Structure 1
Amino acid sequence: MSAKLPSRTTIGTVLAFVGALFIGYVGVNYLLAPESMAPNFGLPSWPHGEGAGFLAVKGARDLASGLVILTVLVTGNRRVLGWVMLATALTPIGDMFIVLLSGGSAATAFSVHGATAAAVILAGGLLLGGSRTPSPQPVV
């Protein structure tokens, strides 16, 4: 008796769900304790004083990203979720380049932001490459 492996769509859905929870958690932590999170971003320095509000911007952005993914996930439309994941990958790609172009830690840029982008792209690809189901027809 052989065990049935999960489908690409199932794996992509699980990756999207875990990713949404993770980025939402990161966002909440940036909102509640930005000083403990900022050093892990990879930049050589982070905003202090009046500029520290930018850490809250990052927190709100990350929390919203997680909520968007969860919202699309609960609709059950895995193709749309796949496209949302691919679009969402632009955020960690941008973060990676920001760290690299700001003289930050290349190790963090690639291991944190680059790996996140790769996981998000993988999830999107799995969701888009999974079995296609017909789109619901509009009610007229």
Structure 2
Amino acid sequence: MLTTLAYGLALAINLLCLVIGANFLRAPYAAAAGYGVPAETDRAYLTIKGLRDGTYGLVGLALLAFVGAQAEAWFLLVAALLPFGDTLIVLRNGGTKAVAFGIHFATAVTMLAGAALLFAV
């Protein structure tokens, strides 16, 4: 049961990274608004964010599929720094606390929980 939960959560996190990355590549301005800091220019930076998030999703999936739970756990532990940073970015740039904590901080905590579960299996 724990193994299924750990792998399921890791899989969901990685797939959501791919979805977020694709959203930033497909509709960057709408995705930026959903991120919590609307952008009216800087399409290049929004594209970079899409590539970053998508790549993290692919790396996570590759680790999970080809290396195993321990490697994915370490990856999630380190990668949780990104949504913690996103929390601060949203707060420092006029975004709402609801988005900062409800999306980004919650994502970081979920990633840490996923890492803990993977370390336990």
- Please classify the TM superposition score into its range, dividing by the shorter chain length: over 0.9
Report the counterpart of residue 22 of structure 1 in structure 2. 16
Aligned with residue 104 of structure 2, among 106, 113, 133? 113
Does the CA-based 8 Å contact 1:30-1:59 persist in structure 2? yes
Q: Structure 1 length as normaliser, TM-score? A: 0.82
What is the root-mean-square deviation in Å for CA atoms of aligned residues?
1.2
* TM-score normalized by the length of structure 2: 0.94
CA contact (8 A) 1:47 1:54 kept: no
Equivalent of 1:46 in 39, 42, 58:
39
Q: 2:94 aligns with which of 94, 103, 119?
A: 103
User: Does the CA-based 8 Å contact 2:25-2:51 persist in structure 1?
Assistant: yes
Task: State the Cα distance separating 1:47 from its structure 2 match.
Answer: 4.4
**C-alpha separation in 2, matches of 1:47 and 1:106:** 21
Structure label with greater radius of gyration: 1
* Structure with more of its chain in helix, by fraction: 2
Amino acid paired to 2:80: A
Length, aligned pairs only: 121
Q: Deviation per CA, 1:33-91, whole angstroms, max 9, x where unpaired?
A: 11221111112x4241xx22110011000000100100001015211111111111111
Contact 1:47 1:55 in 2 (8 A): no
Identity percentage over the alignment? Answer: 36
* Structure 2: stretches of 5+ with no match in the other structure: none
Equivalent of 2:31 in 19, 37, 46: 37
CA distance in 2, matches of 1:33, 1:73: 29
| Structure 1 segments (4+ residues) deviating >4 Å | none
Give the AA of the match of 2:17: I
Name the SS for the 2:56 alignment partner: helix
